[in-house]
Amino acid sequence: MKNKGRLKTDKNLQNVVKDLEQVKVNSFHATQIQQDTNDRRHQDALNHEE
């Protein structure tokens, strides 16, 4: 597979950067952010089940 001069960004790294850009105000907010991440992972797992 040839890379036609385009750089592909790593989706995992994009998500890490997005997470690092968020300011965690307090523990409640941090818990909400973590739960959002867990929910996305769970939904992704459901989408990939056969």
Quote the pLDDT of residue 2: 55
pLDDT score of 24: 64
Q: What distance in Å separates the CA atoms of residue 17 and residue 32, rounded to the nearest whole number?
A: 18
Span 9-49, pLDDT tens digits: 788 888 888 888 877 678 998 899 899 999 999 998 888 87
pTM of the model: 0.48
Domain locations in the chain as residue ranges: 13-49
Question: Over the range 3-40, which residues count as b (16 or more CB within 10 Å of their CB) and which as e?
Answer: eeeeeeeeeeeeeeeeeeeeeeeeeeeeeeeeeeeeee
pLDDT of residue 5: 59
Report residue 33: phi and psi, to 5°.
-65, -45
Whether residue 35 contacts residue 24, with contact meaning beta carbons closer than 8 Å, is answered with no
